[in-house]
Amino acid sequence: MERVPILKIGGVLLVSIQIDLQDQSVLALQEDLAEKISATGAHGVVIDISAVEIVDSFIGRMFATIASISRLFDADTVVVGMRPAVAITLVELGLTLGGVRTALNLERGMKILGELGRERRGAVTHFGEFPRDA
Amino acid sequence: MTADAGHAQRLTELLRENAELLIDKWVGVVAAALRGRSARTELEADFREFYAALVPLVGHDGKNISGPEFTEIRSLLEEYSRSRVRAGFTPSETASSVFSLKEPVFELVENDASPEVFQQALAFSRLLDAFGLLTFESYSRAREDIIREQSEQLLELTTPVVKIWEGVLAVPLVGTLDSARTQVVMEKLLEMLVETGSEHAIIDITGVFAVDTQVAQHLLKTVVAARLMGAECIVSGIRPQIAQTIVALGIEFGDIVTKASLADALRHALRREGVEVVRREVV
């Protein structure tokens, strides 16, 4: 089974999905991500799906599940780079991803997370993005 | 068929012997009916081909013309009908090109002494009827092909997606919206969002005169799909009648932003983009 790598950039975890997702890899990703957020104390998760061409309802639900998991660790989730065909499929499947934020590309996704993080932490935490690491 | 093969040969003989005369008369009748809209030499070349393919078929009564022996004449007639469609002839003009052969053939048979020939001529006439109907069918098929091509072109032409500001796309919809068209718009818009990296799209329906539940559903789906990709859609230019229909049908636009005019929608999009438009004192 292929595993999806999780990269840490500043206070953000980047999940870039470059493989054909199997249900097993999806479940593994959810576990890995939960551990990684808890370990790093990241304030945001970006899921880059610009390479994903085919989705089914299981993968569609994965986004919502990951968002709920992240929320428990007080981290925001942004899904970036969704292809038109994938968006149409998800709409046809009746999945609207509920509370998950979306952005056109990685750059904007990072920007959104930056703004959200600032809002949440207020002006106080300008120093030290990672209280736990510091 | 084998029983009257001998008799059929009599008509075949007649047709072979008088080929030049018959073709000449046939072309004459058709050319007169078309009143010079088709060159005589062209007609003659076409009819000579038909005639050559037709003569060996004498003896068939035209009840079933789908067999392999009819392949040649069928393709000739289909080609002829297609060219007639493109040249703007009516279906009856096309079909009567075939029927017009009957007249000279009957004239010829009249002068012949043997009584069987008349029966054969009748059968031949039925064969021509079948071919005439075939041209009619090919004609309408060719015309349907043209209509389909045109509607596809129209679909492409009438759904432009334009960039009206950095980060703002506009889709001015004009005419009647059906599911196929909204589908095209939806795909084109989503692709353009990715291509241009735009976060706002304005769907302007000022030019749309009717909306039904299905179309509204498609519009809503487009908006949701765009949202999934990280872009916001604004619907503008809803006509009063359409607004009434939408309310009467109970279609919920939810939290989708709707504006009265394209200008309002653009202003909204610019504000969301962080662009400020200021009126300057004009000297």
Are B173 and B208 in contact, with CB atoms under 8 Å apart?
yes
Look up the CATH superfamily of A6-122. Answer: STAS domain (3.30.750.24)
Of B201, B212, B283, the residue nearest B242 (C-alpha): B212
Q: Is residue B57 part of a domain?
A: yes
| Record: contact B230-A82, CB cut-off 8 A | yes
A98-112 pLDDT, tens per residue?
A: 778 899 999 999 998
**Per CB distance under 8 Å, which residues of A are interface residues toward B?**
79-80, 82-84, 86-88, 90-92, 96-97, 101-105, 108-109
B91-135 pLDDT, tens per residue?
A: 888 888 888 888 888 888 887 777 778 888 888 888 888 888 888
Same domain, B26 and B107: yes
Find residue A45's DSSP bridge partners: A13, A77
| Record: contact A104-B199, CB cut-off 8 A | yes
Are A3 and A36 in contact, with CB atoms under 8 Å apart?
no
C-alpha distances out from residue B36 to B40, B77, B96, B103, Å: 8, 21, 16, 20
* Residue spans per domain, chain A: 6-122
pLDDT above 80 (res B156)? no
CB within 8 Å of B155: residues ≥ 6 apart: B180, B181, B184
Of A106, A26, A96, A102, the residue nearest A66 (C-alpha): A26
Closest-CA residue of B relative to A48 is B229
Q: What's the token pair of residue A10? A: 């500043």
Single-letter amino acid code for the residue at B97: S
Of B154, B186, B202, the residue that ends a domain is B154
Which one of B228, B233, B252, B272 makes the best mutation probe of the A interface by having the most chain A beta carbons within 10 Å? B228
Same domain, B179 and B142: no
What share of chain A has pLDDT > 90, as a percent? 34
Compute the distance between CA of residue A116 and CA of residue A103 in angstroms, rounded to an integer: 13
- Band (B192; pLDDT cuts 50, 70, 90): very high
Q: What residues in B contact A105, CB-CB < 8 Å?
A: 197, 230
Same domain, B51 and B175: no
| Record: contact A108-B227, CB cut-off 8 A | no
Same domain, B166 and B213: yes
Of B122, B154, B186, the residue that ends a domain is B154
B197 vs A120, higher pLDDT:
B197
Same domain, B65 and B171: no
Q: What's the token pair of residue A38? A: 């808890």
What share of chain B has pLDDT > 90, as a percent? 19
Query: Would you state the pLDDT for residue B164?
Result: 92
Compute the distance between CA of residue B32 and CA of residue B40 in angstroms, rounded to an integer: 10
Q: Is residue B31 part of a domain?
A: yes
pLDDT above 90 (res B270)? yes
pLDDT above 70 (res B59)? yes
The count of domains in chain B is 2
Mean pLDDT of B230-259: 89
Burial class (CB in 10 A: 0-12, 13-18, 19+), B86: exposed
Of B154, B187, B205, the residue that ends a domain is B154
Q: How far is A42 from chain B (nearest CA, A)?
A: 22
Q: What residues in B contact A91, CB-CB < 8 Å?
A: 221, 224-225, 228
**Is the ipTM above a cut-off of 0.85?**
no
B5-49 pLDDT, tens per residue?
A: 455 577 888 888 888 888 888 888 888 888 777 788 888 888 888
pLDDT above 90 (res B168)? yes
Same domain, B48 and B147: yes
- Band (B152; pLDDT cuts 50, 70, 90): confident
Q: Is residue B283 part of a domain?
A: no
Domain that holds residue B13: 5-154
